[in-house]
Chains A and B, each alone.
Chain A
C-alpha cells in the first residue's frame, strides 16, 4: 500500500493539521498497490475447507456453543459422577432412606437437608454423611443414581443412533444408487414398516425379549433407521444425476470410488444433522418406555426409571423427580439446539 500524502514523516501532527491534513491517515487516503492479477492470487490466503468453514459458523452460534458446553459437562459427569462419592447406585441402606439433598455451603440453594415440612432430617436422624442429591426410599444415593442413569441413557441413545446411522446409510445408499426395481422393493418395505405404529412394534418386541438395555436398543432401531434411510436416499438421488458424478463415470471411476469420493462426502451434512436429532429422540423414547414400565428393571437406573420413581413420591420428596427431570431436559434441549446449529452451519444455502 502507498500513502497519498507527501512523505513528510518527521512533521509533527500539529503541523499536518495546519496544512489541512488529518492527524491520522484515514482509509480514503490509501490506494491499493497496482498488483498483477497472478501475484494477487498468490498473496490471498488459502481458502478454508468446507468443514473448517462450517465449524467457524457453528462456533458463531451462541446457542450451539452453550449446548455443546453443557453436553460436554453432562457427559463428563455421567462418566465420573458415579464414582465421586463412596456410594454405588445399587447399594441399599434402609436407615438412610428418603433423605433430602444436603451439600454443605449450598444450603441457601435448597440443599439444606430439610424436608417439605421444614424439619432437618439429618439432625433428626443423626446422619453424619451428606447425600448431595439425597437418597431414595431404599437409602440409595440419588447423586450416584442420577449420573449412572445419565450414563445409561446416553449410552442407549448413542448406540441406537449409531446403529440407525449404519443401517440407514447403507439401506438408503443402496436403494438410491442402484435404483429401478431394487429401489422400488426397498421403498415398499420401508412403507410397510412405517405403516405399523411404532409403539406397538416396540412393546411387542420388549414383551418377547426380556427388558434390558439390549432389548430397548433393538426395539428402537427396528424402526428408527427409516428416517435416516429416507434422508440418505433423497440426497443420493439428487446427487446421482449431478454432472460431476457423470464426469467421474466418464473417467472410469468404480462404484466404490464414486460412493467414497463423490456421494458420501456430499451427504455427510444431512447425515450428521439427522443423527444429532435422533439422539434426543432416543433418550426421550427410552425415558418414555421406562416411565410406562417397559424399560430397565431395578436396580439399574436410567433417567426414565428415576423420573418414574420420583413421580410416585412427588408430594413428599419432590427432589427425587426434580433432579433427573432437570438433567434429561438439559440433555434434550442441548442436543436439539446443537443439531439446529449444525444444520445451519452445514447447509450450503447459508454459504455466502
Chain B
C-alpha cells in the first residue's frame, strides 16, 4: 500500500470528533519457521474517534483478533504506527507509556469461560487492575469500588465473594466487563464479546456495552463476526479479509450498498426476518477457501474467490481509496485508471 493511501486512510474519516486512535499501515507477522511467515495483519490503516464504535468484521482467521491484541500490546506489532490519544504506541514503548496504556486501554475477551481465573473470587478478579495501578488503595475502598462496578454491570454485591464456576456465561461476561471498567479506561477492545453467548444473552451484553458507552463516553473497537449485531452497535464498520481492510464505511451506508465484492458476499449471507423476502434472498456463494495467510496471493488478496476478477487484479495491489466521503474501499472496480486500462465500466459514480 502506498504512503498517500495510508494518509488518506487515516485522515479520510468524515464527521466531527477528535481521533482517539489512529492506526497507519499496521503489520503483525508471525514467524512460524525459517521459511514461512504468517502475515496475520498486513498493513491496515484506520482511525477511531472519541466516543465512537468501530466494528471490525471478517471471517475466522482473517486477523481481527490479532488487530485487537496488537493494539492492546499483547502482541508487539511488526511495523506500522499507532497513535493513541496523541501518544505514539506503535514501536517500542517505555515503561511509563506502557503503564498509561494498561490503564487507558482495556480488552473484553471472547470466551467467558477461559477469561476468568477459576482460582480467584470475583472481588479478586475485578479488583486486579486496582491492585496493580493503585496499590495504596485501602482494601475497604477497593471492595466498595468492586461492589459499585458489579452493580454497574448488572450483578449484585452478594456475588463478590464467589468463584467464576458459579456463574452463567452471560454473568461471567459481565464480570469480564467489570474488570475492564475497574481502571476507568477510555478505549475498550471488545474481542468477539458475544460470540460464545446465547442469542438472548447477546442482546443484553450488547445493550450493556451501549449504555456504558453513553454514560462514560467510552470508545470501542468491536470485533465480531455476527453481522447483524455489529450493525446494531457500530457507528462505522471495517471489513477485513486475509489481514487487510477491504472496506470501511458508516454502518448504514455499508449495509445499504456494499461496494467491495467480499462485503457484498458477506452481507448476502445474513438471513432476513421476513419469510417471504428470505425465500427470494439472493445469496452470493463464494467458491473455494480463504487462501493461507502464509501464502498470500499476489495483487488483490480476494481475487482467487472474486466473481469479478480481472487480469489487473493479479498484477496490481488495489489501493485503499476513498470513493465517497467517509467511505473507503480497496478494489479495482472503483479505480478509474485500472478500469480504463481494462476497458471496463467504472462500478461507482
Contacts and interface: CB of A to CB of B under 8 A. Distances in A.
B119 A252 contact: no
Interface stretch (A60-68, A110-118, A243-251): A243-251
Contacts of B120: 261, 265
A5 interface: no
B74 A257 contact: no
A47 B72 contact: no
Nearest to B124: A261
B119 A50 contact: yes
A246 B109 contact: yes
Nearest to A50: B119
Given A41-B156, A50-B118, A251 B183 contact: yes
A252 B99 contact: yes
A265 B119 contact: yes
B28 interface: no
Contacts of A261: 117, 120, 128
B85 interface: no
Interface residues of A, number: 25
Nearest to B95: A252
Contact of B163 (A38, A41, A50, A243): A50
Contact of A252 (B132, B161, B162): B132
Interface string A238-280: 0000111011111111000100011001100000000000000
Interface in B110-142: 110-111, 114-120, 125, 128-129, 132-133
B107 to A, nearest CB: 5
Given A247-B176, A252-B99, A252-B133, A348 B118 contact: yes
Contacts of A50: 118-119, 163
B149 interface: no
A266 B114 contact: no
A243 B114 contact: yes
A38 B156 contact: yes
B312 interface: no
Interface string A13-45: 000000000000000000000000010011000
A243 B132 contact: no
A105 interface: no
A136 B99 CA distance: 72
B165 interface: yes
B69 A246 contact: yes
B200 interface: no
Interface in B81-117: 98-99, 102-103, 105-107, 109-111, 114-117
8 contacts: A41-B159, A49-B163, A50-B163, A244-B115, A246-B74, A247-B115, A250-B106, A257-B132
Given A47-B162, A49-B163, A244-B115, 8 more contacts: A46-B161, A244-B125, A250-B72, A250-B74, A251-B128, A252-B98, A252-B133, A265-B119
Interface of A: 38, 41-42, 46-47, 49-50, 242-244, 246-253, 257, 261-262, 265-266, 348, 351
Closest 7 CB pairs of A and B: A252-B102, A243-B115, A243-B109, A265-B119, A244-B117, A251-B129, A42-B158
